[in-house]
Amino acid sequence: MTAGPSEISPRTLRAMSAQTTYPWTSEFIDFYQDTEKKLAQILQTRNDIVIMHGECVLGLEAAIASTLNPGDKALVLDSGPFGKGMGAWIKMYGGEPVYLSVEYNDAIDPADVKKKLDEEKDAKLLTVVHSETPAGTINPIKEICRTANKRGLLTIVDAASSLGGMDIRPEEWGIDICVGAAQKCLSGPPLSVMSVSKNAWQTMENKRNPLRFSYLSILDWKENWIKKRRFPYAPLVSDIYGINEAATEVLEEGMQKVFNRHKSVANATRTGIQRMGLKLWPKRTEIAADTLTAVTVPKGINDQKVIDLMLERYGILIGRSLFELEGKAMLIAHMGYNATLANAAATLAALEWTLSDLGYRRS
Amino acid sequence: MTAGPSEISPRTLRAMSAQTTYPWTSEFIDFYQDTEKKLAQILQTRNDIVIMHGECVLGLEAAIASTLNPGDKALVLDSGPFGKGMGAWIKMYGGEPVYLSVEYNDAIDPADVKKKLDEEKDAKLLTVVHSETPAGTINPIKEICRTANKRGLLTIVDAASSLGGMDIRPEEWGIDICVGAAQKCLSGPPLSVMSVSKNAWQTMENKRNPLRFSYLSILDWKENWIKKRRFPYAPLVSDIYGINEAATEVLEEGMQKVFNRHKSVANATRTGIQRMGLKLWPKRTEIAADTLTAVTVPKGINDQKVIDLMLERYGILIGRSLFELEGKAMLIAHMGYNATLANAAATLAALEWTLSDLGYRRS
Amino acid sequence: MTAGPSEISPRTLRAMSAQTTYPWTSEFIDFYQDTEKKLAQILQTRNDIVIMHGECVLGLEAAIASTLNPGDKALVLDSGPFGKGMGAWIKMYGGEPVYLSVEYNDAIDPADVKKKLDEEKDAKLLTVVHSETPAGTINPIKEICRTANKRGLLTIVDAASSLGGMDIRPEEWGIDICVGAAQKCLSGPPLSVMSVSKNAWQTMENKRNPLRFSYLSILDWKENWIKKRRFPYAPLVSDIYGINEAATEVLEEGMQKVFNRHKSVANATRTGIQRMGLKLWPKRTEIAADTLTAVTVPKGINDQKVIDLMLERYGILIGRSLFELEGKAMLIAHMGYNATLANAAATLAALEWTLSDLGYRRS
Amino acid sequence: MTAGPSEISPRTLRAMSAQTTYPWTSEFIDFYQDTEKKLAQILQTRNDIVIMHGECVLGLEAAIASTLNPGDKALVLDSGPFGKGMGAWIKMYGGEPVYLSVEYNDAIDPADVKKKLDEEKDAKLLTVVHSETPAGTINPIKEICRTANKRGLLTIVDAASSLGGMDIRPEEWGIDICVGAAQKCLSGPPLSVMSVSKNAWQTMENKRNPLRFSYLSILDWKENWIKKRRFPYAPLVSDIYGINEAATEVLEEGMQKVFNRHKSVANATRTGIQRMGLKLWPKRTEIAADTLTAVTVPKGINDQKVIDLMLERYGILIGRSLFELEGKAMLIAHMGYNATLANAAATLAALEWTLSDLGYRRS
């Protein structure tokens, strides 16, 4: 029950064990397009889909590298370590990050975004994390991106730990580049899955030195793959098999059902956590993610000990939080294939047994 | 019997279908190190091994991006499309490529490299392709890299289609960064497999703006993984399973046996090609690769028709050449798992039947 | 969480997907012997191991067909449908079954066996089921078989749903033929796994018309395989791969740990069942199996509805009982790979939710 | 390239690695029926299909055990070890075998069958092998079975090594029970695949003591499975997955194409064998099987050495013949997935190299 990556479903694993076809055949080209169509349904978008052949950080770095001009000002929404981290890439590629920060158990307020944008009228780009994994919090990207998009900013959303588990609507919400991760709520292998708006393509083409012939270039995918059906380089065939199957599983269930399932498992988990006397990490339940629950580490308890003992005795693995939140929160992911009420029950029972084994008594 | 990628061995495919473990466990960390140890044996080196999580072009671009300072002059050995292509990255990252070119059925003469280096005394970098896939030719990287290395140049070798099928000795031959591809002679999934010398690490650390926190950064692997055993990002676990198994298969056979097998299959293939009245593409047999045989497309014959019919009627797929050589040469790869005398016999028979079906008569 | 068959472990499934070797090679012969050695460790015996290539009923029928002479009297212990069913084979092969019966929520009393044997002094054979699956009950085979064996009867034990989950000691307990099922507590594919005593071999050889050259012949395995290492017919290679891996998994954990795990999961399940106001089917906890829990279907509740709704809503499948007990008991198997406390917690929660969804209120 | 069993296709192997479903669900019942429908298309019959859960010998023994009354006379066509072997079962189950024999490089003449039936007017049963594996010969079952069937005999055909590779038409040719093997020309796992005529069902039902409740009973499959869709015992789920996929592969190609492919590969193999100066084992080409080629072991050559060296040096395994023909013939199977011209070319080349390595010179 961990966030990164989550367990690959058996069906997807088997799909990945198929003998790889030569990727330059029309058969594989059709299969790849079919994979993209399925991802578009999951992303609920008519924008182009791009699969970047590397973990989610590749897609995020590529989004910055492919669109930013040196000197561009970017509004970086900072409600957690991943949100803040976007600023580092902005600097690396010559931009100027301006941060809007909140405490790491809180979410960004869209009204504050409006105010900030009033101040920073020359900002070209906005970056925001949808589900801030280490904190188990959700930012209201719908309101945020609509506002920014209307004012002409290019919006980049990190939806790594929400894509496929929560409702996202790129066009309606004004998201230009939405970057997800196949290894989280899709229970697939770790590649970047992205939707790219027309506006984003134009930004890439109009960049002073358009980024081409690079592993970080999103534009290469447009100019080679989308236009000419030629891969810019040898694709990771087995992983594409995996993503196709993972997407098929999700779509067979239906997006609305999938979202509801994540929601009800999240509810059950939060209720169970509170019933055993523990505290949720997010300030308010309304900003808690449907895809993972961050639990405040109780005083006097070592989170690593809890995690290790729980795995050893009860066979269930939950995660530590990361970066600034390490040691402060524990993460129970309920993503994709793993997000079932039965798993929630098992995890809560195991956590309760473990804490009891360690002598924890609710106050 | 194609070069890119070649067929994954059944044993490796099965290894890739194992349920992925959470990659931040000591169990997976040990497994990853074991994978690197095996790759070091295949690369016959004590230099550090770095696996870049993307196809071979990622490793090649990363090698340039991580080491080159803007303004650096680089000697680019150009005996084929891939050799020449290195120059494009050099330009992109601000360097100045100087080309030493030969015809694309020929190999670079080490004596010419010496002359060129006498002329270009301020060159900082040399790039060379070991096995130039589209041409089926081999460059004498041993002599070339020794010369360049002694003169203080950083040497970058593209060994994509030779690594694991032909003898390469990074330290002895003066290769600073040797970039191979797991999906060719290792019959594994498509990730970059690299050896990195101390000199190369120093170059990266001493770069004006060392490349860090990037998917293209080799240095991230040193500073996070090699020093602290933390992955810079979520690794492609299934593909690592595949590479470990592929490497194990190769090592169980033994490197010398593997090299000999490739050599004898190459001999049998070349002999068979010439016996049926066809011409090899490389100018001289001595510069022909052991890992794939490029055959001159006979006059009046359409190579695509040969390839399609051969696949349809006889179930064996060979490749077209690429870029400048498209339509001029056909490529019979004999790499890794596929490199057997029996496969060579089947391929030669199928090619002969196909040409006969198409009305070709030897002159 | 069903008894027949239980879920195959992912590791075993992968083992079954290996390309099958030609079974008449020394490599496969060694592998087969290795499989038998592992099974002997699980059966805790030095008796010969025979794998019959069909589900457990093959082994049971073969045990009767290979040892019984027409006219032989056999004591058939009948504490459930499977126990009673042995009598049918005894008749079919010309024997005369004598039944010792108890109610189907009870277990056979060894003292009654003694009495019965005093009456039936010419009985040649005793058959008993260890774990009577439809009832979730256990017979005390240790005391029963010792008694029968000392009096010269050949003892045949059906250990289908206990082998690999509960302690069994063929020699010490006087079991001549112990028939288990790889698809239950071993979480493997469905073949018969048997231990055969010297006494049993002699009985087969001394039979009036020894059964040879038949799919039902155990003796064929001795005379062809054990003596000459020739298979009597083409073995089910993939299933043998599966059994070997399944056995390896079990042995890596260690038999004592495996038995303890089944015991503690059974305890937790029984406690949970009683806590939610349900009744166990077995008369006394002491005769309840460690490998599956039979729950009395509460009045006014349709067991099929419970099972269907529980699967549909909560994704967990439990079983109906069989034959005479159909509709009276539900079966929660906790066998092999599936027997974990976390699974028990999930199953109990799902059962409670389901009963509540169906309007059940504890009395 | 061996006959027993042949290589399972990768696609089928993968199908076998799917998590097994609980076999008593309607989903699996539908899947099982779908498997039977596909097998009926391969067997080109509207007769019932029965899958017996064990290698081909199970189906053959079951055919005798389920139909023969003690005292029945049976005509056993003996053109090889397997043909002759049927007589042993006839005796075991109380019948009286009458043999019609030819030399083991020859085939049965239908005219001789007629004559024999004129002599043995009270014969109830005829058994014949279609493709006699150890000899590489074919019996004309069309003429033979028509004759016997018209005269009221029940006809049992062993089609183990021809089913799925050669044309067979049960109804048209008067075959009551046709027993094939999934592990040969279907490239699947080793189970018995049978077609059963109405006449055969009647014979089973009218048997003095109909065989029921036995692993050898075909009737159990009718009374439990065909009538009530209940399996008589736990089916080998993974193997059924395999057979379904194997059958699907064959049907996707189309039966006529499959038969033609086997024929052309057989032709190429026979031509190649004769070109290298070797002799076919069958007396006449007309009686040589399309599914495997038996080659006479040349004088002064040890067949085991040829086979071992060929495997070691060239990676291709052919088979020894069996029983009376051991040491006299070598068997090159070209069955199912393996039956390609390319494989034939590779095998012939490898055999020629091996013989040359061993110093063999054509006379």
ipTM summary value: 0.95
Residue C70 near chain B (CB below 8 Å): no
Question: Counting runs of H as helices and runs of E as strands, what totals does chain A give?
Answer: 14, 12
pLDDT at residue C25 in the model: 87
Strand order across the beta sheet in which D319-320 lies: D292-296, D329-333, D319-320
- Average pLDDT, rounded, for chain D: 96
Cα angle D34, D37, D38 (rounded to 5 degrees) comes to 90
Assign D10 a pLDDT band (cuts: 50, 70, 90): confident
Q: Any idea what DSSP says for residue B51? A: E
Is there a contact between C305 and A330 (Cβ–Cβ < 8 Å)? no
Residue D317 near chain B (CB below 8 Å): no
Which residue is listed with tokens 């129970």? A332
Residues in chain A with CB shorter than 8 Å from the CB of B20 are: 5, 7-8, 13, 189
Residue B349 near chain D (CB below 8 Å): yes
Residues in chain D with CB shorter than 8 Å from the CB of C62 are: 215
Flag if D350 and B350 touch (Cβ within 8 Å). no
Interface of A with B in 153-212 (CB under 8 A): 183, 189-190
- Residues (pLDDT < 70) of chain C are 4, 363
Flag if A18 and D14 touch (Cβ within 8 Å). yes
With contact defined as 3+ CB pairs under 8 Å, the chains touching D are A, B, C
Helix H or strand E encompassing B60: helix B56-67
Assign D282 a pLDDT band (cuts: 50, 70, 90): very high
In this structure, which amino acid lies at residue D140? P
pLDDT at residue A7 in the model: 82
Assign D141 a pLDDT band (cuts: 50, 70, 90): very high
Supply φ then ψ for residue B161, to 5 degrees: -100, 20
Is there a contact between D295 and D273 (Cβ–Cβ < 8 Å)? yes
User: What is the three-state SS of chain D?
Assistant: CCCCCCCCCHHHHHHHCCCCCCCCCHHHHHHHHHHHHHHHHHHCCCCEEEEECCCHHHHHHHHHHHHCCCCCEEEEEECCHHHHHHHHHHHHCCCEEEEEECCCCCCCCHHHHHHHHHHCCCEEEEEEECEEHHHCEECCHHHHHHHHHHCCCEEEEECCCCECCECCCHHHHCCCEEEEECCCCCCCCCCEEEEECHHHHHHHHHCCCCCCCCCCCCHHHHHHHHHHCCCCCCCCHHHHHHHHHHHHHHHHHCHHHHHHHHHHHHHHHHHHHHHCCCCECCCCHHHECCCEEEEECCCCCCHHHHHHHHHHHHCCCCEECCHHHCCCEEEEECCHHHCCHHHHHHHHHHHHHHHHHCCCCCC
pLDDT at residue D363 in the model: 64
Least confident of A16-20, C183-187, C303-307, D280-284: A16-20
Distance from CA of C14 to the nearest CA of B (A): 7
CA–CA gap between residue A40 and residue A196 (Å, rounded): 11
What token pair was written down for D299?
């004088």
Which residue is listed with tokens 């073969």? C62
What is the pLDDT averaged over residues A190-206? 98
Closest by CA position to C81, among listed C110, C55, C103: C103
- List the single residue in B8, B213, B215 with the smallest CB-CB distance to A54: B215
What is the pLDDT averaged over residues B117-134? 98
Least confident of A57-61, B198-202, C56-60, C297-301: C297-301
Mutation pick from A218, A233, A335 vs chain B, by most beta carbons of B within 10 Å, is A233
CA–CA gap between residue D237 and residue C6 (Å, rounded): 12
What token pair was written down for B241?
């399973």
Residue ranges of alpha helices (H) inside chain A are: 10-16, 26-42, 56-67, 81-92, 110-119, 141-150, 170-173, 198-206, 219-220, 227-228, 237-253, 255-275, 303-314, 341-357
Is there a contact between A38 and A188 (Cβ–Cβ < 8 Å)? no
Closest by CA position to B42, among listed B332, B245, B288: B245
pLDDT at residue B44 tops 90 = yes
Residues in chain A with CB shorter than 8 Å from the CB of C349 are: 341-342, 345-346, 349
CA–CA gap between residue C238 and residue D108 (Å, rounded): 36
Is there a contact between C68 and C62 (Cβ–Cβ < 8 Å)? no
Residues in chain A with CB shorter than 8 Å from the CB of C353 are: 341
pLDDT at residue C17 in the model: 84
SS3 of B251, please?
Answer: helix
In this structure, which amino acid lies at residue A333? A
Residues in chain B with CB shorter than 8 Å from the CB of C11 are: 18
Contacts of B75 (CB under 8 A, 6+ apart): B98, B100, B113, B116, B117, B120, B123, B125, B126, B127, B148, B153
Contacts of A5 (CB under 8 A, 6+ apart): A181, A183, A184, A190, B20, B22, B23, B234, B237
Distance from CA of D360 to the nearest CA of B (A): 20
pLDDT at residue D304 tops 70 = yes
Residue C311 near chain A (CB below 8 Å): no
Flag if C14 and B10 touch (Cβ within 8 Å). no
pLDDT at residue A185 in the model: 94
Supply φ then ψ for residue C362, to 5 degrees: -60, 145
What is the pLDDT averaged over residues B302-327? 95
In this structure, which amino acid lies at residue A344? A
Cα angle C185, C187, C191 (rounded to 5 degrees) comes to 90
Supply φ then ψ for residue D339, to 5 degrees: -80, 80
Distance from CA of B297 to the nearest CA of C (A): 37
pLDDT at residue B4 tops 80 = no
- Over residues C46-64, the pLDDT tens digits come to 999 999 999 999 999 999 9
pLDDT at residue B363 in the model: 64
Closest by CA position to C77, among listed C167, C178, C148, C170: C148
Distance from CA of D349 to the nearest CA of A (A): 27
Flag if B18 and C18 touch (Cβ within 8 Å). no
Residues in chain C with CB shorter than 8 Å from the CB of A10 are: 10, 13
Nearest CA in chain D to B18: D17
Closest by CA position to D43, among listed D145, D195, D157: D195
pLDDT at residue D144 tops 90 = yes
What token pair was written down for B219?
């240095």
Q: Which residue has the higher pLDDT, A2 or C228?
A: C228
CA–CA gap between residue A87 and residue A155 (Å, rounded): 14
Flag if C234 and D190 touch (Cβ within 8 Å). yes
- Over residues A104-137, the pLDDT tens digits come to 999 999 999 999 999 999 999 999 999 999 999 9
Mutation pick from D275, D340, D357 vs chain B, by most beta carbons of B within 10 Å, is D340
CA–CA gap between residue D197 and residue B218 (Å, rounded): 70
Least confident of B6-10, B253-257, D224-228: B6-10
Residue B80 near chain A (CB below 8 Å): no
Is there a contact between A175 and A198 (Cβ–Cβ < 8 Å)? no
Interface of D with C in 247-276 (CB under 8 A): none
Contacts of D282 (CB under 8 A, 6+ apart): D105, D106, D107, D135, D136, D137, D288, D289, D294
Closest by CA position to C22, among listed D36, A61, D190: D190
What token pair was written down for A143?
């309101």
Flag if B239 and A234 touch (Cβ within 8 Å). no
pLDDT at residue C44 in the model: 98
- Over residues B345-363, the pLDDT tens digits come to 999 999 999 999 999 887 6
Residue D17 near chain A (CB below 8 Å): yes
pLDDT at residue C8 in the model: 87
What is the pLDDT averaged over residues A221-227? 98
In this structure, which amino acid lies at residue D144? I
Give the sign of the dihedral formed by CA C32, CA A13, CA C189, CA D229.
negative
pLDDT at residue A14 tops 90 = no
pLDDT at residue A363 tops 70 = no
CA–CA gap between residue C88 and residue C95 (Å, rounded): 9
Q: Which residues pair with A131 in a beta bridge?
A: A138
What token pair was written down for C199?
């006494």
Distance from CA of A150 to the nearest CA of B (A): 31
pLDDT at residue D20 in the model: 85
Flag if B234 and A17 touch (Cβ within 8 Å). no
What is the pLDDT averaged over residues D311-338? 95
Flag if C53 and D57 touch (Cβ within 8 Å). no
Residue D21 near chain A (CB below 8 Å): no
Residue B9 near chain D (CB below 8 Å): no
Residue D20 near chain C (CB below 8 Å): yes
Rounded to two decimals, what is the model's pTM? 0.93
Distance from CA of A34 to the nearest CA of D (A): 21
pLDDT at residue A18 in the model: 85
Residues in chain B with CB shorter than 8 Å from the CB of D10 are: 10, 13
- List the single residue in D13, D346, D353 with the smallest CB-CB distance to B343: D346
pLDDT at residue B252 tops 80 = yes
Residues in chain A with CB shorter than 8 Å from the CB of C13 are: 10
Residues in chain A with CB shorter than 8 Å from the CB of B238 are: 8, 13, 16, 189, 238-239, 242
pLDDT at residue D11 in the model: 87
Residue B315 near chain D (CB below 8 Å): yes
Cβ pairs A/D, distance under 8 A: 12
